[in-house]
Chain A
């Protein structure tokens, strides 16, 4: 289980901007080694932006990200590339390279970063695909797979370099409940088997209940609550309670204000 003393990722006062628009406004949290850390939030809460900063696809406007005690934000590009070999990421739309077969996709990082024999790489690829339940699919093209299978292949690719940390962006987005639950089980299995620190960005309460050790809830670029799901359910914050109970926003005004907003006449 999670080691509760040793943080592997520490985010301190992270501020991120797209142009002049502030998307993250002083986000801080830490992820413990070996846990499943869920970043939860509605659309536009900035949860994907947190993830992009964590994997280095975006540089923060200010703040620090420490991974294994090293400041990831101030690294040179070359150091980052080296550092990224310890991380894997599964993308929302799986982002498999469409010109390569599933097996080649999974083998790609290994082929580029190591000098292993092709036969060894083939065996490693088959093991990873077997792990995510896609044994025997190595010669298929990504376009020949279903959404859930693509997601699994993306996870296999993220696992290819045996990372210490794996990031999942909306793992259950666009999947039916059964397949989505299957992906959740897979995320749990990966964490248990390899003692893998997992950071999951999602808005699906169902998967949060299944997988989360710690939940960090974002709203409007700020952390509103952080803790286990039980702790979150006891937090006395209207947004947290609304989100957990899946209640819609109360409708503002009445018909007349709606009419005014359409016509633009006061």
Chain B
């Protein structure tokens, strides 16, 4: 019983410690993004652009491909139920609403976690192991400013941008499957899609994706700096970064879904 209490206590302390360290990281990052440039300490804009291209543009082929296929799947699965009611024209509604509000932001976030969240962790962890982070500090360069701030800015912009494109591709995938496989007339499908969508759906999807981006970057960076040991430690942190990140994405998704359900 005492052992259990002790374990819960230690677990709580660890969790609080992690929260504290993540908060310090957040405050530092925001400082270097907002206050730093105002005080004339500069922002590594070129680095941010390079990261944006890497996180966003280079992820388009895989995100596009996956989202197209998910669109097809959504359409065919919806048709399975709707067909019984002779309501195949409503496939359009289901695909459009679930793509914008849920599936496109989620799939994009998970893919970018696997592609770039893991890369961020591996990069930072390797730099810690090779003493490159120490070297930056000794040179008087703040690692948060130099490494984290540009990545953070790039990620928070890249995820929503890719998500918008993913939304269109997913809807297009659903359209193609419905028209070609199920046999819904194209004009009806387009009409239903336009009629069913509200600005609110787009706003909800994009709001979520911004928070997904924040989570991916911070988990990636935090796990990277946590590294201990050599190459093995880098591997362990990378795995744990992806797992934590996906877990957080689902939690954030749940929170927003509940929130918007009542709003």
Residues of A within 8 A of B (CB): 55-57, 80-82, 84-85, 87-89, 91-93, 95-98, 108-109, 112-113, 157, 161
Shortest B251–chain A CB gap in Å is 32
Query: What does the 1/0 interface line of B140-167 toward A look like (CB < 8 Å)?
Result: 1110001000000000000000000000
A81 touches B140 (CB 8 A): yes
Task: Tell me whether A91 and B141 are in contact (CB under 8 A).
Answer: no
Cα A175 to Cα B132 in complex, Å, equals 20
Asked whether any CB of chain A lies closer than 8 Å to the CB of B191, the reply is no
A111 closest partner in B (C-beta): B141
Give B residues with C-beta under 8 Å from A.
126-127, 130-132, 134-142, 146
CB distance from A101 to the nearest CB of B (A): 15
Distance in angstroms from B168 CB to nearest chain A CB is 34
15 contacts between A and B (CB under 8 A): A55-B138, A81-B142, A84-B138, A84-B139, A91-B131, A91-B135, A95-B132, A96-B135, A97-B132, A98-B130, A98-B132, A108-B139, A109-B140, A112-B141, A161-B139
- Would you give the shortest CB distance from A57 to chain B, in whole angstroms? 6
Can you name the residue of chain B whose Cβ is closest to the Cβ of A55? B138
Complex contacts, A112 vs chain B, CB 8 Å: 139-141, 146
Residues of B within 8 A of A82 (CB): 140
Write out the residue numbers on chain A whose beta carbons fall within 8 Å of the beta carbon of B131: 91-93, 95
Q: Are B140 and A95 in contact (CB under 8 A)?
A: no
Q: Are B134 and A95 in contact (CB under 8 A)?
A: yes
- Contact for A97 among B135, B137, B138, B142, CB less than 8 A: B135
Please name the 6 residue pairs, one residue from A and one from B, whose CB atoms are nearest each other, closest first.
A95-B135, A84-B140, A95-B131, A81-B140, A109-B139, A89-B138
The docked-state distance in angstroms from the alpha carbon of A82 to that of B130 is 24
Residues on A with beta carbons closer than 8 Å to the beta carbon of B146: 112
Query: Which residue of B has the minimal Cβ distance to A83?
Result: B140
Q: A89-B135, A91-B135, A95-B134 are in contact. List 7 more A-B contacts (CB 8 A).
A: A55-B138, A56-B137, A57-B138, A88-B138, A93-B131, A95-B131, A108-B139
Instruction: Closest A residue to B138 by CB, please name it.
Output: A89
User: Residue on B with the closest CB to A110?
Assistant: B139
A91 and B134 within 8 A (CB): yes
Q: How far is the CA of A64 from the CA of B123 in the complex (A)?
A: 35
For B139, list chain A residues within 8 Å (CB): 84, 108-109, 112, 157, 161
Q: Give the complex CA separation of A55 and B138 in angstroms.
A: 7
Closest to A112 in B: B141
Give Cα A84 to B127, complex, Å: 20
Distance between B45 CB and nearest chain A CB, rounded to angstroms: 13
| Residues B138 and A87 in contact, CB atoms below 8 Å apart | yes
CA of A85 to CA of B133 in the docked complex: distance in angstroms?
A: 16
| Chain A residues whose CB sits within 8 angstroms of the CB of B134 once the complex forms | 57, 91, 95
Give the contacting residue for B141; candidates A89, A98, A108; CB below 8 A.
Answer: A108
When distances are taken between beta carbons in the complex, the residues of chain B under 8 Å from A81 are 140, 142
A95 touches B142 (CB 8 A): no
A96: chain B residues within 8 A (beta carbon): 132, 135
A85 to B140, CA, bound (A): 6
Given A95-B135, A97-B135, A113 contacting B130 (CB threshold 8 A): no
Report the separation of the CA atoms of residues A88 and B127 in the bound assembly, to the nearest whole angstrom. 19
A142, B40: Cα distance in complex, Å: 32
Q: Who on chain A is nearest to B129 by CB?
A: A93
With a cutoff of 8 Å between Cβ atoms, the chain A residues found around residue B127 in the complex are 97
Q: Which residues of chain B have C-beta atoms less than 8 A from A80's C-beta?
A: 140
CA distance A82 to B141 in the complex (A): 10
Residues in chain B near residue A161, CB distance under 8 A: 139
Residues on the B chain within 8 Å of A85, using CB: 140
B140: chain A residues within 8 A (beta carbon): 80-82, 84-85, 109, 112-113
Contacts of A84 in B (CB 8 A): 137-140
> With A and B bound together, what is the CA distance between A94 and B165 in angstroms?
43
Complex CA–CA separation, A106 to B135 (angstroms): 12
Of A93, A96, A112, most buried by chain B (CB within 10 Å of CB) is A112
> Closest Cβ of chain B: how far from A130's Cβ, in Å?
21
Shortest Cβ distance from A135 into chain B, in angstroms?
A: 22
Alpha-carbon distance between A157 and B146 when the two chains are bound, in angstroms: 17
Q: Are A109 and B141 in contact, with the CB atoms below 8 A?
A: yes
A242 to chain B, nearest CB (A): 31
* A151: min CB distance to chain B, Å: 13
